[in-house]
């Protein structure tokens, strides 16, 4: 096989993997129970063999989705701050967090097994997410937009509480209202 063919195959494999991760994420968000691997392959528009070539087990798929989403949340904080003022960036990041929580519900059994076996480090995820929240808070503090006494842990606890009682913001007016109230409570008022 020549080099252009090899590159084309690698690009195709990367595209398939990305399609599978996106489709699996959507499938897990839409379901309260873990969807079948066949349903995920169908959603991604690939054959079941392609899914298993990339992710030989359900655990491999769930771990990849989880890591991809955590990476998306941490990168999302930076990207949002580059585009918006800190309060807008944080509010939009809260929506991303809600989507992440929703996806975890559909893969909870496998995710808990992975955490218990050490395949996923809950502690490392917590460190990464708190750092993302802290970067958003710090950007707002330096411009006098956020209170100085609010911590990343406070925001994380608030978000977990909100998404315990409300569905992700794109599906639930109550979640949007609660997130807006949380953001309002962070605002600095002289």
As a whole number of angstroms, the distance between CA 49 and CA 46 comes to 8
DSSP secondary-structure letter at 84? Answer: S
Structure confidence at residue 189 (pLDDT): 80
Residues 7 and 38 in one domain: yes
Structure confidence at residue 163 (pLDDT): 85
Residues 79 and 5 in one domain: no
Last residue in a domain, options 56, 79, 100: 56
What's the number of domains the chain is made of?
A: 2
Cα dihedral angle (132, 138, 139, 145), rounded to 10 degrees? 130
Residues 159 and 96 in one domain: yes
For residue 31, the enclosing domain spans: 1-56
Residues 7 and 46 in one domain: yes
As a whole number of angstroms, the distance between CA 154 and CA 190 comes to 21
Residues 82 and 151 in one domain: yes
Residues 102 and 162 in one domain: yes
- CATH number of residue 17's parent domain: 1.10.10
* Max Cα–Cα distance, the chain, nearest Å: 68
Residues 84 and 16 in one domain: no
Residues 72 and 20 in one domain: no
Structure confidence at residue 169 (pLDDT): 59
Structure confidence at residue 35 (pLDDT): 86
Residues 81 and 144 in one domain: yes
**For the chain, how many residues are written?**
190
Residues 30 and 80 in one domain: no
Count of beta carbons in the 10 Å neighbourhood of residue 182: 19
Structure confidence at residue 167 (pLDDT): 72
Residues 175 and 104 in one domain: yes
Block means of pLDDT (10 residues each) for the chain, length 190 residues? 62 85 86 83 90 92 90 94 97 91 79 83 89 97 94 94 77 86 89
- CATH number of residue 112's parent domain: 1.10.357.10
Structure tokens at 126: 């917590």
Residues 150 and 96 in one domain: yes
């Amino acid at each position: 096989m020549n080099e252009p063919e090899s590159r084309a195959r690698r690009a195709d494999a990367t595209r398939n993997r990305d399609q599978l991760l996106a489709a699996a994420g959507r499938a897990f968000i839409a379901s309260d129970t873990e969807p079948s691997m066949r349903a995920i392959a169908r959603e991604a528009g690939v054959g079941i063999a392609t899914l298993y070539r990339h992710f030989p087990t359900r655990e491999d798929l769930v771990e990849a989705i989880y890591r991809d989403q955590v990476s998306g949340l941490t990168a999302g904080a930076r990207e949002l701050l580059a585009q918006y003022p800190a309060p807008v960036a944080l509010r939009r990041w809260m929506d991303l967090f809600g989507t992440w929580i929703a996806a975890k519900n559909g893969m909870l059994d496998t995710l808990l097994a992975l955490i218990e076996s050490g395949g996923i480090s809950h502690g490392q995820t917590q460190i990464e997410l708190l750092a993302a929240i802290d970067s958003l808070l710090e950007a707002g503090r330096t411009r006098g937009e956020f209170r100085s006494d609010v911590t990343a842990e406070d925001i994380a606890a608030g978000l977990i509480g909100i998404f315990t009682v409300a569905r992700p913001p794109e599906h639930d007016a109550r979640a949007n209202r609660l997130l807006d109230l949380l953001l309002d409570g962070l605002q600095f008022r002289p």
